[in-house]
Amino acid sequence: MKLQINLRLPQHLKKAAEKYVITHKYKNLQELATEAIREKVMEKNYDENFSDREIELIDSLIDVSIKKSKLVSKEELFKALK
């Protein structure tokens, strides 16, 4: 179930966010706010769950996978990791 919140912003921040929505091709301000909140929340969880070395290894794996065009679906990745 999705909940609705009201958000008050200073005028200059709202204008900057609206410009960001347009230049980065978001559907609307709500989509930008949702992504920003998700990133902040997940960033904290991400940092608590992985060591710096694990994060480096994950980043390296992603870089190599992209360069070699060897990207797989989430399901394939989880299957390989089991």
Q: Could you report the per-residue pLDDT of 10-28, keeping only the tens digit for each?
A: 999 999 999 999 999 899 9
Sign of CA dihedral 40, 41, 42, 44: positive
Q: Which pTM value belongs to this model?
A: 0.51
Q: Which pLDDT value is given to residue 4?
A: 87
Mean pLDDT for the stretch of residues 1-6:
83
Q: What whole-number distance in Å separates Cα of residue 44 and Cα of residue 37?
A: 11
Residue 29 burial (C-beta neighbours within 10 Å; 0-12, 13-18, 19+): middle
Q: Which residues contact 4 (CB under 8 A, 6 or more apart)?
A: none
Q: Which pLDDT value is given to residue 29?
A: 93
Q: Could you report the per-residue pLDDT of 28-81, keeping only the tens digit for each?
A: 999 999 888 888 877 665 556 777 788 788 878 877 887 887 777 778 877 877
